[in-house]
Amino acid sequence: MNNTEYQIYDLQTFIGRYAALAGKPLIYFRVYGWNNSTDVAAINSSIALYESMLPVDFTTLFKDSEYLVVEMESITEAEKFLTDNFPASQEGVSKERYIFYALYNDQGQVIMDNE
């Protein structure tokens, strides 16, 4: 690779670049707890909780993949969706219930997260 030009990005920069190119807000999710716990009862309880709050396609994909990106049409609706359905931070939440999110605006900047 010494004679080849290339660009290297961390994940946050890559997602931000995509958001800017698409000109749409994006939400990056990491379904951490379901994929990093051995407490089956706690995982199932968390899944049941999210299934009662979220559209089916979200929970279906959350079960299938630890990392997801959602294209949104409205930044305002995205903010409301996140604050209404996900923990505001990792603090005080069981590992199994915690789902990380980062909201990117249409210019590729992270404007909200729950880390």
Residue 19's pLDDT band (boundaries 50, 70, 90)?
A: very high
Burial of 10 (0-12, 13-18, 19+ CB in 10 A): exposed
Task: Give the predicted TM-score (pTM) of the model.
Answer: 0.92
> Distance between CA atoms of 106 and 71, rounded to whole angstroms?
10
Q: Which range (1-5, 90-94, 98-102, 108-112) has the least confidence? A: 1-5
Residue 2's pLDDT band (boundaries 50, 70, 90)?
A: confident
pLDDT at 6 over 80: yes
**17: helix, coil or strand?**
helix
pLDDT at 115 over 80: yes
Per-residue model confidence (pLDDT) at position 1:
67
Candidates 14, 22, 28, 31; CA nearest to 104 is: 28
